[in-house]
Amino acid sequence: MSTLTVGVLQQPIIWMDGDANLQHFSRLIAQSAHHDLWVLPEMFTTGFSMQAATQSLSETRVLGWLQALAQKHDTALCGSAAIQLADGAVNRFYFVTPQGDFSYYDKRHLFRMANEHHYYKPGTSRQIIEYRGWRILPQICYDLRFPAFSRTINNDYDLMIYVASWPTARANHWQALLLARAIENQSWVIGCNRVGEDENGLSYQGDSQIIAPEGEIIASALPAEATVITATIDRQQAIAYRQAFPVWQDADRFTLTSSVG
């Protein structure tokens, strides 16, 4: 499938109230036109909290909700949630298909300025998810600052998705880095950021965007507004641009090794 109609849910998150957040997102999706893919923010069940994994919904509950909603509305869903596992907590990005199949990626780069690395285990590798002919690279918030981790290797993905709780204080960084990731990788980029204020007094203005491989911003959300942005993106556009302007052929070769452990 060459095209995907994508909806990006730039929304506030009710602090540490998983059921209320799931109800809110369920209503939004039910009230909206059909989309092939819905993108939710980082830690969409709790807000960006260091206690989220131990005080939030279980993995069974979160994943079951995503699967039921995906099947009900014949859509794919993705976003991250704080999940407590037997050997520790992770900030986990789920991608769920309309058939209920799922993939996940655990956040590799943990935001040390909030001590996230003391409360969550880092992921050890990046993942590429296949969906309807698309190859998708999932990323979470602080990952955006590490371009080597997201660099295409012989054009091994078509779309990067960043889900985030990125504060207003560094909004210009968010906007500039999303654009850079699209341009340097000649890839579609979706950035979904939350809005509102959390219990730590941090403000989030969103600035969610959908960016084409050439660097054109084709959809952007108004700052500080709870809203949904939508666009139809075309995989063939990325393929054609890479063929016409093959920067990737001159990219430096490197091997990504883990610093975790």
217-231: pLDDT as tens digits: 999 999 999 999 999
Radius of gyration for the alpha carbons in the chain, expressed in angstroms and rounded: 17
Q: Round to whole Å and give the CA distance between 197 and 205.
A: 9
The answer to the question of residue 9 being in a domain is yes
The answer to the question of residue 258 being in a domain is no
Question: What backbone phi and psi angles, to 5 degrees, belong to 249?
Answer: -70, -20
Q: What's residue 261's pLDDT?
A: 46
Q: What's residue 23's pLDDT?
A: 98
Residues with active-site annotation: 42, 107, 141
Q: Round to whole Å and give the CA distance between 138 and 144.
A: 11
Q: Which amino acid is at 145?
A: R
Number of Cα atoms under 13 Å in the Cβ half of residue 69: 28
- What DSSP element (H or E) covers 241? helix 235-244
The answer to the question of residue 260 being in a domain is no
Q: What is the CATH number of the domain that holds 192?
A: 3.60.110.10
The answer to the question of residue 200 being in a domain is yes
- Which residues, 6 or more positions from 100, have their beta carbon under 8 angstroms from its beta carbon? 67, 70, 71
The answer to the question of residue 259 being in a domain is no
The answer to the question of residue 88 being in a domain is yes
Cβ–Cβ < 8 Å for 260, 247: no
- Quick: pLDDT tens for 42-99: 999 999 999 988 888 999 999 999 999 999 999 999 999 999 999 999 999 999 999 9
Range of the domain at 173: 3-250
**Residue whose tokens read 């556009």:** 237
Q: Is pLDDT above 90 for 260?
A: no
Structural domains of the chain, count:
1
- How far, in Å, are 17, 83, 104, 191, 205 from residue 173 at the CA level? 29, 28, 26, 13, 13
* Residue 254 binned pLDDT confidence (cut-offs 50, 70, 90): confident
The answer to the question of residue 256 being in a domain is no
Mean pLDDT for 147-169 is 97
The answer to the question of residue 257 being in a domain is no
Q: Round to whole Å and give the CA distance between 33 and 50.
A: 35
Per-residue tokens: 88: 């520790």
pTM above 0.85, yes or no: yes
Count of H helices and E strands in the chain?
Answer: 7, 14
